[in-house]
Amino acid sequence: MTPSNYSTTILVDQTPKEVFDAVNNVRGWWSENIEGGTDKLNAEYLYHYKDIHLCKMKITELIPDKKIVWKVLKNEFSFTQDKNEWVGNDIVFEISKLKNKTQLTFTQIGLTPAHECYNVCYDAWTGFITNSLKKLITTGKGLPTPKDTEWEFNESLISKWNIKSNKHFTKSFTTEKTPETVYNLLLNIKKWWSGLYSETIKGKSKKVNDEFTFSAGGGAHYSKQKLVELAPNKKIAWLVTESNLNFLDNTSEWVNTKICFDISKEGNKTRVIFTHKGLIPKIESYEGCASAWTQYLANLEKTLN
């Protein structure tokens, strides 16, 4: 037997025209991270969710109040071996009257249980069609992924299916201390990047191009950082130029990553955002280093509060 394509159906009280218009309002129910037209025949648009899913769609059929078809021209998943699994699929919306209601049937032709992405896509489409799109049709307000932000529904899918993304490790907190106080403390490396694993820090970090070395854990961690960006009371960034993490297969994993602090006013408080650019869940050191950074940043927050 041929595996069945993913399909789901909803019934609403609204007219076929209202349903048709809602489906075409893709930003209103799927994602605000869409570029291009979504309601004209032969129009093409791009969709993305972080670095986890990117695709390009073309509207190949548009029959007012009856049918809409998108062809998947390009697709890339970060979590499957075949990153192009959707390419060539048709995504079909069929609208019909059923007594005094309107029926919408959604089908992705080519999305079957044989595909690696099926379970993730099943959950995602079910949520978007039976919840978000249905709400847009019936209440005028859907639940699309907001533009360039985290979102609880998509984050829960990432956790459920253990999808590894390229999201850089980041933490933030607020303090009543001024941006100037925070900035000066962060430049004094020994004041916040120490006290946990017998750290040794040598060198300078006061002006651009200053360098310092960091070692900890009895030789488990060695790295050399160069101060590459300095915006007084606003931003500090160090580039890791050398690293020897002897607990990894690739001991130089940190090389060319960036350790960054962004500082800004938030009402009567100061917001501190830490990002280690390049420290992502896909690399071997992520869990151990994320845990260590979390401890160092917790101590920093205590110091500032």
**Range list of H helices, 73-223:** 118-127, 134-139, 152-160, 179-187, 189-192
Q: Is residue 75 part of a domain?
A: yes
199 and 111 within one domain: no
Last residue of some domain: 141, 160, 179?
160
Q: Does 106 fall in a domain? A: yes
- Domain shared by 180 and 258, yes or no: yes
Residues 136 and 186 in one domain: no
Residue 12 located in a structural domain: yes
In terms of residue numbers, what domain contains 244?
169-304
> Is residue 35 domain-shared with residue 116, that is, in the same domain?
yes
Residue 229 shares a structural domain with residue 137: no
- Tell whether 132 and 67 lie within a shared domain: yes
pTM listed for this prediction: 0.60
Contact status, residue 223 vs residue 213, Cβ threshold 8 Å:
yes
Mean pLDDT of the 291-296 span: 94
Residues 6+ apart with CB under 8 A from 106: 7, 8, 9, 91, 92, 93, 125, 129
Residues 297 and 181 in one domain: yes
pLDDT digits 0-9 by tens, 168-207? 888 999 999 999 999 999 999 999 999 999 999 999 999 9
Q: Is residue 248 part of a domain?
A: yes
Total number of domains in the chain: 2
Are 155 and 92 in a shared domain? Answer: yes
Number of Cα atoms under 13 Å in the Cβ half of residue 77: 18
Residue 23 sits in a domain whose CATH number is 3.30.530.20
| Within a domain: 241 | yes
Same domain, 155 and 227: no
Report the C-alpha gap between 121 and 237 in whole angstroms: 38
- What is the phi/psi pair of residue 85, to 5°? -55, -35
Q: Quickly state the pLDDT bin for 126 (edges 50, 70, 90).
A: very high
**Which of the 8 DSSP states describes residue 52?**
T
Mean pLDDT over 282-296 rounds to: 91
**Residue 1 domain flag:** no
- Write the CB contacts of 179 (distance below 8 Å, at least 6 apart in sequence): 233, 234, 263, 264, 265, 270
Q: Which amino acid is residue 232, in one-letter code? A: P
20 domain residue, yes or no: yes
Mean per-residue pLDDT, 74-87? 89
Predicted pLDDT at 1? 45
Give dist(CA 119, CA 79) in Å, integer. 12
CB atoms within 10 A of CB 196: 12
Q: Residues 144, 182: one domain?
A: no
Residue positions counted in the chain: 305
DSSP for 248-296? SSSTTTTTT-EEEEEEEEETTEEEEEEEEET--TTSTTHHHHHHHHHHH
More confident residue, 181 or 51: 181
At 151 the pLDDT is 61
In a domain, 175, yes or no: yes
Residue after which a domain boundary falls, among 114, 137, 160: 160
Asked if residue 290 and residue 187 are part of one domain, the reply reads yes
Give the chain's radius of gyration (CA, Å): 25
Where is average pLDDT lowest: 50-59, 259-268, 291-300?
A: 50-59
Among 110, 132, 160, the domain boundary falls at 160
Task: Give the tens place of pLDDT for each residue, 88-124.
Answer: 999 999 999 999 999 999 999 999 999 999 999 999 9
Let me know whether 32 and 60 are in one domain.
yes
